[in-house]
Amino acid sequence: MPQTARLRRLIELMLAMKRALHERLGKKSFPLDPSTLPRLLVLGYVRERGEPTMKELSSFLRIAPPSATALTDGLVAAGFLIRQQDASDRRSIRLRLTAKGRTFISRRFAEVDRQMAHILGRLSTKEQDLMIKLFEKILP
């Protein structure tokens, strides 16, 4: 296969994988679930980091701070997150999971794990190991 066709095919497959993940893990699979993949990323990041600042979140997501604020607005309104002023820097806002948010993200990530196990279960252990090596090689 010529190099340009190979690169085009890789791009097509990566985009198809992204769409498949969104369909399996996103709103289409869980129509009554208020989450979207970007919101799950936010909740997962806050769970992992403890009480990150909005600036840290926007940097992690690689979006502008106003976009991060818009993204977290729904999570605050749904009672999953609390915004609080940083005690050491009044200009900085920190995010914290509520009990409802912790319960939701634990259950939701368990479902994501089940869905991903189903998707990746089509690959042999050797193929999964190869996929890990390839992702580690191409991702920064």
Per the DSSP assignment, residues forming a β-bridge with 86 are 89
Amino acid residing at 19: R
pLDDT at residue number 23: 73
Mark residue 79 as left, alpha or beta (left: phi above 0; alpha: psi -120 to 50; beta: remaining): left
Q: What are the structural domains of the chain?
A: 21-138 (1.10.10.10)
Q: What is the pLDDT of residues 43-61, one digit of tens each?
A: 999 999 999 999 999 999 9
Read out DSSP for 97-113?
E-HHHHHHHHHHHHHHH
Average pLDDT value for the chain: 86
Q: Which residues of the chain have pLDDT under 50?
A: 30-32
pLDDT at residue number 32: 39
Q: Residue 95: helix, strand or coil by DSSP? A: strand
| Of 136, 87, 107, residue with least CA distance to 34 | 107
